[in-house]
Amino acid sequence: MAINWFPGHMAKTRREIKESLKLVDAVIEIRDARIVKSSANPDVDEICEGKPRIILLNKSDLSEKKVTNSWIEELTKDNIKVLEVNCITGEGIKNIRGALNELLKEKHDRLKNKGLVKIVDRVMVVGIPNVGKSSFINKMAKNNIAKTGDKPGVTKSKQWIKTNQNMELMDTPGILWPKFEDELVGLNLAFTGAIKDEIMDIETLALKLIELLQREYPENLKERYKLKELSDEAIKNMDEIGKKRGAMISGGEIDYNRVATMLLDEFRGGKIGKISLEKP
């Protein structure tokens, strides 16, 4: 199932972010905890050029705890802290300030030695589209997004957002992902709703999701849809789910579109259980 979706303004976005890096102390990158690898733009490492970074694994309430912990261990480095959060409820958000203090300790000590009491850090927020960036910024700004005034060298399109954590956030356009050379990356983004369903064949997408779940999370699939046994063929499992949920059309045929929509909605809402589609 080929997924080709490559917006053309990625180069401009990359250039803008690179130019803005000199204005910030650190970077907060947001990823989806269920697809930690697929929701990371591979260009971020290069663009951020060793800037202190916090990686937030958002939607961690929907992922498997032990897998998320493995990712935290895998990604943590000297200048990178990794935290699990839920940008909707705000869970884990309070840990950001402490992580930032650790990353910027040298800078803070230097400023304190000069007699500065209140230190405000400037932080750039990056992430692919639809990964929870807006929810995070709204939560940090207590749903009161306001410009803090244009700073020198900052174009009017960039927005500085005040928070009550002695932090100013620079919002950026979603860093768009490059072409999907790995089909699985495209599928993972589509499963989690990062690519709009309108441009997808959702029946095929749901079938691919069933294939993955019957292999990796068979008990979740059986329990959610009251299936006694699973077939090796995803289409047969899809048929059974349709029958159990009464998703039928006249003549006893399965309404595949209805099954697909329901299955994707329930997966994205966590109703099939805590699922991690990628492991370190």
Average pLDDT on 111-138 reads: 90
* 56-81: pLDDT as tens digits: 999 999 999 999 999 999 999 989 99
pLDDT class for 2, splitting at 50, 70, 90? low
What pLDDT does residue 259 have?
A: 97
Determine if the pTM surpasses 0.75: yes
- What confidence tens digit (pLDDT) does each residue in 181-237 have? 788 888 999 999 888 888 889 999 999 999 999 999 999 999 999 999 999 999 999
Domains of the chain by start residue, with CATH: 10-171 (3.40.50.300), 196-268 (1.10.1580.10)
Q: Tens of pLDDT along 175-195? A: 666 566 788 888 999 999 888
Better pLDDT: 196 or 10: 196
Residue 79 has a pLDDT of 94
- pLDDT band at 145, cuts 50/70/90? low
The tens digit of pLDDT for each residue in 71-111 reads 999 999 989 999 999 999 999 999 999 999 999 999 999 99
pLDDT (average), residues 115-125: 92
Q: Can you read off the two tokens belonging to residue 21?
A: 């890096």
